[in-house]
Amino acid sequence: MSQKHLIVVDDEPEIGQMVKNLATELGFSVATAVTAEQAVQLCQASPPDIILMDMVMPETDGIELLHSLSAIAIKAKIILMSGYDKSYLSMGESLGMAKGLNITGTLRKPFRLQDVCDQLENALGSGVSLQAS
């Protein structure tokens, strides 16, 4: 598998770093953002294959980020995550799909690292199996 590019967006840097460490072991190149604005800049600078994004962030939240990603016609597969009520994830999923974004899954916080692996595999599709090196 050629190296895939992942952007992780979460206002909690520890979560971004944890996912980055895992995804790097799985063969991804990874960039992290702690704000929606940083995420849009990263997407424009180097379009990702997958975006793993938090729905609840200060200032600009996940709903606004989905609008921004749609406005720049991002083609990445998107995995939504939240520690809040699952309705946040459902709302984000519905909005993202209505905006033409490729929402491939959701993660509830707290999550296990295996949950992240499963979601990344699902986003890559075609029976891809990720294994840490």
% of the chain surpassing 70 pLDDT: 93
pLDDT at residue 127 tops 80: no
- 133, 3 contact by CB (below 8 A): no
What local confidence, expressed as pLDDT, does residue 128 receive? 61
Q: What pLDDT, on the 0 to 100 scale, is given for residue 100?
A: 96
Q: What is the mean pLDDT of the chain?
A: 92
pLDDT of 2 higher than 80 = no
**CA distance linking residue 79 with residue 102, whole number of Å:** 9
Domains of the chain in sequence order: 5-111+120-124 (3.40.50.2300)
Query: pLDDT tens digits for 79-110?
Result: 999 999 888 899 999 999 999 999 999 999 99
Q: Look up residue 31 and give its two tokens.
A: 């960039």
**Residues near 76 by beta carbon (within 8 Å), at least 6 away in sequence:** 7, 43, 47, 48, 49, 50, 51, 69, 102
Residues 6+ apart with CB under 8 A from 72: 40, 43, 44
